[in-house]
Structure 1
Amino acid sequence: MLKNDIKLTHFVLLMSFLTLLLFHFPFYSFVFKNVDYKSLNGIILIMSLMILMLVANAFAFYLFYFLSRFVGKFLLVLTFIINAIAVYFINTYSVVIDESMIGNVLNTNYSESSSFFSVKLIVYIIVLGILPGIYIIKTKVATVPLKRFLITISLSLLFMLTMVFANASHWLWIDKNSKTLGGLAMPWSYSVNISLFYIHKSQKNEKEILLPDAAIRDNKKSVMVLVIGESARSQNFSLYGYRKNTNPLLSKIPHVFHFDATSDATYTTAGVKSILEYKNTGDLYEILPNYLERNNVEVIWRTTNWGEPPVHIKNYQNREFLMPNCKGEGCNYDEILLTGLKDQIAASKKNKILVILHTSTSHGPTYSKKYPARFETFKPVCNSVELGNCSRTELVNAYDNTIVYTDYILSEVIDDLKQLKEYNSAMIFVSDHGESLGEKNLYMHGLPLSMAPKEQYEIPFIVWVSDGSKQLKPNKILSQHHVFHSVLNFLGLQSPVYDEKMNIFK
């Protein structure tokens, strides 16, 4: 039993040691896998990182406690709870809490976040967060005179700087692995990266940069349907040679073409932005739907997802908008996006129409809840949000069923377009990013692109064209940025930003 009256230095060192012990197994697992821990240099690096972590956390805790006892206790309890949640996701899904992952977290919504709920998560929060929090709240910590505070802070800073410079020979290794190390160090991973996320967000253009005006070249009635997939990886599409028949319908439809493609990111917000922007600039330029609507094209956006850049169009339709006119079990799934779509296209008074369907079909971890029961082609399936608890077969079966359902939705889009005989029509299906299904003990997506496995960035790029409308170039590897220019070409728009090299059509 620990005593209730404790010196501040002893208390913060104890809290720092607990933080090191409870929350840094993934951090040191990574270090041990990437250094020669049997060599003297390796031992020195590991010991230095441990001591630095211990002193840095104690330094932060000491500073907050001295400035305000109440705020210090509140922040420390909050830190343990957030650490517990972060480590749960690191251990369960092998994620790294870097800036892009923070963006995923801050851009999620209730339905997505609630899908991660599990008993194991509650256990993590109680054991690693709430129980230490109770001790923190109940412990009486002695006050510290200002002089002693300044001496302790100064000596701590001096010690950390000395440790940093004493490890100068390891700087190159630390710099090379800084994203991963920073994403696994608690509480620095989320506290620093939340700050970076908002700093970078504030630096972005508050208002999108308008592109130069476009002109419609002809009066041919043309409609393009762009389907943005969610977490669809190409290697699980039988069109791409996958051994299981996940594309029973598309494989039988004439004029369906597929191309190798890669995503520009491994998370939704950046992936969707890449699909909709004319090139990768890092700035917020006018995205495809906004640009076309401003230039007299009918634009319809339907979504069961989120994370897109700001969409400024009249016909923005989400699940709540579509639900009153939808009938049948498909209304609970991505089929809702097809509700009355053909009639809405036919009713348009404009000759040029772009429809964007932003789906959520293959988003984990609840793959088995993303499709109606009749599409459960492959069995048994994983029904747990803790993907590591499922067998490899169950997990892949559940994911493959989402691809079978995607195949059905795309075939229905094509069937609708075929019935609009007065239009030249086309469909492009491209995913925002791929998905890991346990390969290398990784799950889902979101790793930095520089270290992500191919499963997280090799994506399908599937195209259908109506009879007599367009032919395709012998494209090889495509990118998400091919979408913008291909849509402009198909709909017959002339624009100063158009790049013929990025157009897939002849």
Structure 2
Amino acid sequence: MPKQLKLKSYALLASLVNLVLYQYPFFKFVLSNNNLKSTSGIMLLISLIVASIILNAFVFYIGLYLLRNVGKWLLAIFFNISAIAVYFINTYGIIIDRTMIGNVFNTNYEESSSFFSFGLVLYVLFLGLLPSFFLFKFKIIRPKLKSFLIHTGVTLLFLGVLVFANSTNWLWIDKNSKTLGGLVMPWSYVVNTSRYYSHINKKNKKQILLPDATIKDDEKSIAVLVIGESARSENFSLYGYDKNTNPLLSQIEGLKHFETESCATYTTAGLQCILEHKDTGKLYEILPNYLFRNDVEVIWKTTNWGEPKVIIDNFQNKEMLRKNCEGPDCEYDGILLKGLKDEILASKKNKILVVLHTSTSHGPTYFEKYPKQFEKFTPVCKSVELANCTQEELINAYNNTILYTDFIVANLIDDLKQLKEYKSTMIFISDHGESLGEKGLYMHGIPASLAPKEQLEIPFIVWTSDNSRNIKENQGHSQHNIFHSVLDFLAIDSPIYEQDMSIFKN
């Protein structure tokens, strides 16, 4: 027979379990960023502990009263999701904000399965399933409505007093609100999932058409946009890195590279910045859709995901590319170059945009992103729990992905050189950077306002065929340069074109 507990005791017990098992990252941040030698610092810590217990107990109390037994199942779900969230926070140093929720919902099976580990199983077992089991060992005695209302009112009054007692710490809480909000369980993912879907609903409106464009000449021109994944400029020898990760690109005459920062630290937002004409916050046509509608041949090949809605005839995802592919490159990003020259030559149009969306440097399984012959830097990290590897092993595995990127881009340029009847350009830019253990952070997804330079500083590399176009030397570069530069190179006349945003000289 299950033991009986009053609802307020049950809610308090659930809140204490929540504090002990899932709030370690939250209070670790508080302890690391607060002066505990001061009276206000000690007051803040004590108040946050008390507020965490009381506020969660208050919400659980109301939920369990209104939802009855369904409330227990919701708590069990919270416990298991919190266990998974804490695993990823502890292992990769992430913050569960709206952008991270977007990463979760835009992750496909292949990527998500790469995170599976024995450590994750232990977290789910001991921090998720086990405490969830004990939730059902107690029978809840619910209070009468009058008692429920009194308990609710007294708790609200107490929380109000606690908030005003900490008025001296409001500035500190406000300053660190993004991080604190992304670490507190379970509300980090509950609130930010709601925010994410609200944001998606706004974006899912019908795209706003841009003004019609015209093609100015009949000269055969190709612009190939290569969108890198998680490539940070710090590990490109073109940018001064001391290991030779760009042995091929460094030998190509006329290649230019620019210092650039991404506008976001996750793929969907990074791609949006690369493909939109400017940051408006509205759903305007993106580059491939705009050019396709205005009679440009557009080819999109991808081994990745997370792009805005691409409305063209020739969109080839990983499954389509692999269907008719033979050879070792079919499992890697080299597949993006298979048959590309033939597709270009088969086009009946003079203006062609090719977009190659790679996945080469996406973690945590960097060691699986390149063929064996590109494992030049050793030893390499072969664990998905990146903190278990030495930083040398982790960086070596990542450097090998950059080495393979160098190979792909250099071979693409060689292919374009062979298309003598076309003037051509290759533009490589990454969606965002990557953390490799610096400051205890891994991969990407930290809010851009808080993100370290490793997640923001990206490569922007440009090549043009002989005598096609000269490139501006001294210009601030961003992902928003891409739209206008492609229009400029392909000689597309548009009311929205901005010459100052093009990387090419007149």
TM-score by length of 2: 0.98
Contact conserved, 1:260 with 1:476, CA < 8 A, in 2?
no
Deviates most, 434-443 or 136-145: 136-145
SS in 2 for 1:37: coil
Aligned partner of 1:146 in structure 2 is: 145
SS in 2 for 1:388: helix
Aligned partner of 2:27 in structure 1 is: 28
Structure 1 residue 418 corresponds to structure 2 residue 417: yes
Aligned partner of 1:361 in structure 2 is: 360
Q: Distance in 2 between matches of 1:117 and 1:283?
A: 36
Residues 318, 205 of structure 1: alpha-carbon distance in 2 compared, 3 angstrom cutoff: closer
Aligned partner of 2:48 in structure 1 is: 49
Contact conserved, 1:64 with 1:71, CA < 8 A, in 2?
no
Deviates most, 219-228 or 2-11: 2-11
Aligned partner of 1:93 in structure 2 is: 92
Q: Distance in 2 between matches of 1:479 and 1:277?
A: 12
Shift of 1:97: 0.4
Q: Distance in 1 between matches of 2:502 and 2:37?
A: 54
Aligned partner of 1:250 in structure 2 is: 249
Aligned partner of 1:291 in structure 2 is: 290
Aligned partner of 1:183 in structure 2 is: 182
Q: Report the AA paired with residue 366 of structure 2.
A: Y
Q: Distance in 2 between matches of 1:203 and 1:302?
A: 27
* Matched ranges for 1:494-505 at <5 A: 494-505=493-504
Contact conserved, 2:273 with 2:479, CA < 8 A, in 1?
yes
Aligned partner of 2:214 in structure 1 is: 215
Residue deviations 1:315-345 (CA, integer Å, cap 9, x gap): 0001111123211111001111111000000
Contact conserved, 1:226 with 1:428, CA < 8 A, in 2?
yes
Contact conserved, 2:265 with 2:444, CA < 8 A, in 1?
yes
Contact conserved, 2:40 with 2:168, CA < 8 A, in 1?
no
Q: Distance in 2 between matches of 1:479 and 1:276?
A: 12
SS in 1 for 2:354: strand
Q: Distance in 2 between matches of 1:127 and 1:205?
A: 39
Q: Distance in 1 between matches of 2:423 and 2:262?
A: 28
Aligned partner of 1:301 in structure 2 is: 300
Shift of 1:144: 1.8
Q: Report the AA paired with residue 56 of structure 1.
A: L
Aligned partner of 2:389 in structure 1 is: 390
Contact conserved, 2:277 with 2:287, CA < 8 A, in 1?
yes
Shift of 1:153: 1.3
Aligned partner of 2:437 in structure 1 is: 438
Aligned partner of 1:40 in structure 2 is: 39
Residues 34, 15 of structure 1: alpha-carbon distance in 2 compared, 3 angstrom cutoff: same
Deviates most, 65-74 or 342-351: 65-74
Q: Report the AA paired with residue 303 of structure 1.
A: T
Shift of 1:476: 4.1
Aligned partner of 1:480 in structure 2 is: 479
Q: Report the AA paired with residue 200 of structure 2.
A: K
Q: Distance in 2 between matches of 1:500 and 1:97?
A: 39
Q: Distance in 2 between matches of 1:173 and 1:208?
A: 41
Aligned partner of 2:62 in structure 1 is: 63
Aligned partner of 2:114 in structure 1 is: 115
Aligned partner of 2:454 in structure 1 is: 455
Q: Distance in 1 between matches of 2:326 and 2:474?
A: 40
Structure 1 residue 280 corresponds to structure 2 residue 283: no
Shift of 1:151: 1.1
Q: Report the AA paired with residue 257 of structure 2.
A: H
SS in 2 for 1:248: coil
Q: Report the AA paired with residue 206 of structure 1.
A: K
Q: Distance in 2 between matches of 1:260 and 1:497?
A: 25
SS in 2 for 1:195: helix
Q: Distance in 1 between matches of 2:344 and 2:401?
A: 27
Q: Distance in 2 between matches of 1:213 and 1:34?
A: 53
Shift of 1:205: 5.4
Q: Distance in 1 between matches of 2:310 and 2:102?
A: 19
Q: Report the AA paired with residue 434 of structure 1.
A: G
Aligned partner of 1:14 in structure 2 is: 13
Q: Distance in 1 between matches of 2:181 and 2:243?
A: 40
Residue deviations 1:472-495 (CA, integer Å, cap 9, x gap): 111343100000000000000111
TM-score by length of 1: 0.98
Structure 1 residue 129 corresponds to structure 2 residue 114: no
Aligned partner of 2:81 in structure 1 is: 82
Q: Distance in 1 between matches of 2:151 and 2:302?
A: 55
Flag as ranges the 4+ runs of structure 1 deviating above 2 A. none
Shift of 1:204: 3.1
SS in 1 for 2:467: coil
Q: Distance in 1 between matches of 2:47 and 2:199?
A: 31
Residue deviations 1:333-391 (CA, integer Å, cap 9, x gap): 11111110000001100000000000000000000000010110111100000000000
Shift of 1:34: 1.4
* RMSD over equivalenced CA pairs, Å: 1.1
Q: Distance in 2 between matches of 1:60 and 1:436?
A: 36
Aligned partner of 2:309 in structure 1 is: 310
Q: Report the AA paired with residue 239 of structure 1.
A: L
Q: Report the AA paired with residue 208 of structure 1.
A: Q
Q: Distance in 2 between matches of 1:123 and 1:205?
A: 38
Aligned partner of 2:203 in structure 1 is: 204
Q: Distance in 2 between matches of 1:288 and 1:137?
A: 54
Deviates most, 219-228 or 466-475: 466-475
Q: Distance in 1 between matches of 2:169 and 2:323?
A: 61
Contact conserved, 1:435 with 1:456, CA < 8 A, in 2?
yes
Shift of 1:15: 1.0
Shift of 1:3: 7.8
Deviates most, 62-71 or 416-425: 62-71
Q: Report the AA paired with residue 293 of structure 2.
A: R
Shift of 1:138: 2.2
SS in 2 for 1:415: helix
Q: Distance in 2 between matches of 1:84 and 1:204?
A: 31
Residue deviations 1:238-263 (CA, integer Å, cap 9, x gap): 11111111001111111211111110
Aligned partner of 1:492 in structure 2 is: 491
Shift of 1:201: 2.0
Aligned partner of 1:381 in structure 2 is: 380
Q: Report the AA paired with residue 256 of structure 1.
A: L
Q: Distance in 2 between matches of 1:137 and 1:341?
A: 59
Deviates most, 430-439 or 135-144: 135-144
Contact conserved, 1:233 with 1:431, CA < 8 A, in 2?
yes
SS in 2 for 1:239: helix
Shift of 1:465: 0.6
Structure 1's unaligned 5+ residue stretches are none
Q: Report the AA paired with residue 195 of structure 1.
A: S
SS in 2 for 1:213: coil
Contact conserved, 1:475 with 1:504, CA < 8 A, in 2?
no
Aligned partner of 1:405 in structure 2 is: 404
Q: Distance in 2 between matches of 1:314 and 1:133?
A: 49
